[in-house]
């Protein structure tokens, strides 16, 4: 499903810790997948490079639009010798804020020390503090696309070559993971005269609307990591029990899963959102399994595939759905949520927020609705999570948030 391009394969894994609300949606952590390079040790970091601002074009594909906006970037010159210039390492920003801590930590910094590289991180348009327009209205979001983002990178590289008086022998190396990994690969393909090589980690290069393969990989990861079918069997059983009890004893599911409102007041879309939410918990578990940046945080030490699957397959502990509910409670507690908010209308209301105070969910949804898809649907082939959040459910969200077109 995921493909890796060009000379080096790095193991980037990204995590964002959030205070409230659904933390994982459409394959994206709330606030973006990039996150920070660590947690505990980051608190000791004081000497971070300041933000710098670049006058970026609003529309690279219009010969008449001369509007500019300020795009944020960070630079670490600590390892660079301008008299004997080495390569330029460019970390590509993605669907969340750029973080200055990446300028002093991470595998790419260790490589920069070896190759005496100049390190630059460019924030993605419309995320973090890089605001091309006054708000996030649907009309203003027309300038948010991967093509515009790639053109941003190309124009930025040309401008930095001029700023630092770099000759053609100085090589640019692009770094990215997940969506920025896709951008890194596409940047090398589209602008080979500007980028010598790209390191694309976990970059999904095939954009498709119905991304049913996503949950296939989630299920296969449970099998491969535990070495048996037991965890998948119990997970499937838990969902079957939930489906049955939603008809016969919904109150027990309300209690065990700590939902914010009773199912008697739920709409059909609410129920779909409920099933999608508990399935996304496992997507989150697999996507960030054993992230070494969070090993020191006691809130996460039990949230690995092996520990959760061990809990699900324990002969004691009651029915499978109750064990799944315990995992759900762990997710709620670690994100400081008192209850599981599965309200479809609340989600849509949040995604309709056009102010810059949002955490990027509206922007990312716009990109999925207009360009990528990437909708991690349930399907009859997977079956483990039921079939309650089909493609129509996600298309409806696009229409409810941005309108019918």
Residues 317-327: tens digit of each pLDDT? 899 999 999 99
Distances in whole angstroms, Cα of residue 201 to Cα of each of 7, 144, 204, 291, 369: 11, 23, 9, 15, 24
Alpha-carbon distance of 56 to 227, in angstroms, equals: 50
Tell me what pLDDT residue 57 has: 99
Alpha-carbon distance of 1 to 126, in angstroms, equals: 27
Exposure of 14 by Cβ count < 10 A (0-12 exposed, 13-18 middle, 19+ buried)?
buried
**Predicted model pTM:** 0.88
| Residue 259 DSSP SS3 | strand
Tell me what pLDDT residue 290 has: 78
Alpha-carbon distance of 295 to 302, in angstroms, equals: 10
- Is residue 214 predicted with pLDDT exceeding 80? yes
Q: Could you tell me the pLDDT band of residue 29, with boundaries at 50, 70 and 90?
A: low
Alpha-carbon distance of 170 to 84, in angstroms, equals: 10
- Mean pLDDT estimate for the chain: 88
Give counts: helices (H), strands (E), the chain.
Answer: 12, 8
What is the mean predicted confidence (pLDDT) over 328-354? 95
Count CB-CB contacts under 10 A for residue 45.
15
- Is residue 10 predicted with pLDDT exceeding 70? no
- Is residue 58 predicted with pLDDT exceeding 60? yes
- Is residue 12 predicted with pLDDT exceeding 50? no
Distances in whole angstroms, Cα of residue 33 to Cα of each of 28, 152, 326: 6, 20, 25
Tell me what pLDDT residue 379 has: 77
Tens digits of per-residue pLDDT, 41-50? 554 555 899 9
State in Å, rounded, how far the first CA of the chain is from the last one: 29
Tens digits of per-residue pLDDT, 157-210? 999 999 999 988 999 999 999 999 999 999 999 999 999 999 999 888 989 999
Six token digits for residue 121: 């991180």
Please state the separation of Cα 29 from the chain's center in Å.
Answer: 5
Tell me what pLDDT residue 295 has: 45
Tens digits of per-residue pLDDT, 86-135? 999 999 999 999 999 999 999 999 999 999 999 999 999 999 999 999 99
Beta-strand ranges (E) seen in 23-134 are: 24-25, 28-29, 52-57, 68-76, 88-92, 118-122
What is the mean predicted confidence (pLDDT) over 12-22? 37
CB environment 165-180: b (16+ within 10 A), e (fewer): ebeeeebbbbbbbbbb
DSSP classification of residue 363 = H
| Residue 355 DSSP SS3 | coil
Sign for the pseudo-dihedral over CA of 368, 370, 372, 373: positive
Name the residue among 316, 317, 339, 319 with its Cα closest to residue 328: 339
Residues making up the chain, counted from first to last: 405
Tokens 């390190």 belong to 119
- Is residue 23 predicted with pLDDT exceeding 70? no
Instruction: List the domain boundaries for the chain.
Output: 24-201, 213-402
- Is residue 404 predicted with pLDDT exceeding 50? yes
Tell me what pLDDT residue 44 has: 54
Q: Contact at 8 Å (CB) between 360 and 289? A: no
Tell me what pLDDT residue 345 has: 98
Please state the separation of Cα 250 from the chain's center in Å.
Answer: 32
Backbone angles phi, psi at 28, to 5 degrees: -130, 130
Count CB-CB contacts under 10 A for residue 189.
14
Give domain 24-201's CATH superfamily: Alpha/Beta hydrolase fold, catalytic domain (3.40.50.1820)
User: Which residues make Cβ contacts (< 8 Å) with residue 341, sequence separation at least 6?
Assistant: 21, 22, 260
Q: Which residue has the higher pLDDT, 30 or 108?
A: 108
71: which strand partners?
54
Q: Contact at 8 Å (CB) between 275 and 385? A: yes
Name the residue among 281, 237, 291, 271 with its Cα closest to residue 34: 291
Tell me what pLDDT residue 244 has: 98
Please state the separation of Cα 400 from the chain's center in Å.
Answer: 22
């Amino acid at each position: 499903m995921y493909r890796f391009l060009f000379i080096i394969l790095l193991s980037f894994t990204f995590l964002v810790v959030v205070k409230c609300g659904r933390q994982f949606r459409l394959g994206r952590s709330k606030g973006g997948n990039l996150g920070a390079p660590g947690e505990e040790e980051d608190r000791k970091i004081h000497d971070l490079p300041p933000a710098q601002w670049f006058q970026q074009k609003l529309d690279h594909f219009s010969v008449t639009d001369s509007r500019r906006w300020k795009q944020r970037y960070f630079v670490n010159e600590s390892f660079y010798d301008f008299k004997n210039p080495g390569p330029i390492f460019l970390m590509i920003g993605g669907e969340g804020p750029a973080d200055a801590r990446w300028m002093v930590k991470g595998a790419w910094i260790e490589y920069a020390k070896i190759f005496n590289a100049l390190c630059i991180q460019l924030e993605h348009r419309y995320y973090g503090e890089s605001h091309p327009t006054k708000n996030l209205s649907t009309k203003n979001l027309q300038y948010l696309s991967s093509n515009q983002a790639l053109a941003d990178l190309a124009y930025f590289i040309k401008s930095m070559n001029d700023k630092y008086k770099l000759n053609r022998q100085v090589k640019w190396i692009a770094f990215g993971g997940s969506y920025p990994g896709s951008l890194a690969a596409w940047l090398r393909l589209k602008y080979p005269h500007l980028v010598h090589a790209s390191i694309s980690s976990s970059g999904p290069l095939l954009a498709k609307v119905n991304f049913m393969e996503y949950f296939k990989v989630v299920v296969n990861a449970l099998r491969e990591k535990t070495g048996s079918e037991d965890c998948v069997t119990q997970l499937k059983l838990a969902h079957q029990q939930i489906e049955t009890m939603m008809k016969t004893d919904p109150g027990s599911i309300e209690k065990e899963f700590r939902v914010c409102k009773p199912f008697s007041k739920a709409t059909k879309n609410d129920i779909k959102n409920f099933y999608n939410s508990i399935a996304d918990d496992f997507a989150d578990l697999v996507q960030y399994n054993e992230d070494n940046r969070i090993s020191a945080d006691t809130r996460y030490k039990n949230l690995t595939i092996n520990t959760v699957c061990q809990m699900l397959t324990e002969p004691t502990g009651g029915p499978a759905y109750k064990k799944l509910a315990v995992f759900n409670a762990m997710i709620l507690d670690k994100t400081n949520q008192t209850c599981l908010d599965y309200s479809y209308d609340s989600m849509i209301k949040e995604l309709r927020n056009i102010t810059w105070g949002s955490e990027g969910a509206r922007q990312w949804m716009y990109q999925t609705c207009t360009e990528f898809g990437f909708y991690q649907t349930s399907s009859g082939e997977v079956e483990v999570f039921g079939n309650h959040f089909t493609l129509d459910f996600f298309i409806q969200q696009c229409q409810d948030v941005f309108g019918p077109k």
